[in-house]
A = this chain, B = another copy of it.
């Protein structure tokens, strides 16, 4: 079968609700800066009531990555669960407007489309409270076999391990992709997410993941080490390709026979780090899709991550295709 998509993203379909807060607010709400915390609808509502004016913008980790790839002209598809409500329509519009194929049926009843309160502190760090809403209804039935078979890379976010039903969807995807000779990619998403699902993630990385994305905290948590270089050597054994993002320092990239550090780019106006990891993955996978070298993949990842942190929101607000061409 010929492949139709370079990258298929599977994730929690979420609309972000972004605002700025002071550090004190995180303390008073017992939120851990930089983390993603799952909250109930009531908890989300109680926090929202205390926030100032917000802007709404499509989000979701894999959704952001696919949006970035689509903006770079890469052929993409997305699978995720929305409700057939106003925010669901916003999510569907935004990801398809960039060119991604998104055919997952919206739920006609049940919980609302997921939203994530993204609290940006003056240091540009983001702290997230996610109400999973309709995402809990993503099941194996939503994984369209033809789409997975038609995708060179199936990219999934670790956050999918949070809604119970999505795990099976995740495992089904791996089997279909590998049976078709395609690749599976995973982002570890969040250190607390790695902590919540540690054993399963480790098994997954060893047995089912070809291309892994993680930041320093996540990879160290996964391999139970304080040494990022040791973690890099361990992931090199487990995965064909891996990229470990190290914030402003850039990234460590590994393949079966290479390991190296790619220097980060200087970003002049740091506004909001939301989506930095997601857009790094977009840039890296763009490089993979275009057959670039390991170092070039890391450099494009750094470039795209460096763009998204210059403005509020986790989706590109410029034409990334032109941006990549102008900067490479």
Interchain nearest-CB distance for A34 vs B (Å) = 22
A53-B48 contact given A86-B85, A112-B86, CB 8 Å threshold: no
- A202 CB-CB contact with B under 8 Å: no
What B residues does A53 contact at CB under 8 A?
A: 58, 67, 94, 97-98, 315-317
Copies of this chain per assembly: 2
A52 to B97, CA, bound (A): 5
B48 touches A93 (CB 8 A): yes
Interface string of A311-325 (1 = CB under 8 A from B): 001011100000000
Q: Which of A93-119 contact B (CB under 8 A)?
A: 93-94, 97-98, 112
Partner of A55, one of B52, B85, B112, B313: B313
Residues from chain B with Cβ under 8 Å of A313 in the complex: 55
The verdict on A54 contacting chain B, using a C-beta distance below 8 Å, is yes
Nearest-CB residue, chain B, relative to A86:
B86
For A316, the closest partner residue in chain B by CB is B53
| Chain B hits for A315, CB < 8 A | 53
- Listed by A's residue number, 21 A-B pairs whose Cβ atoms lie within 8 Å are A48-B93, A51-B93, A51-B97, A52-B97, A52-B98, A53-B58, A53-B67, A53-B97, A53-B315, A53-B316, A53-B317, A54-B90, A54-B93, A54-B97, A55-B55, A55-B56, A55-B57, A85-B85, A85-B86, A86-B87, A86-B112
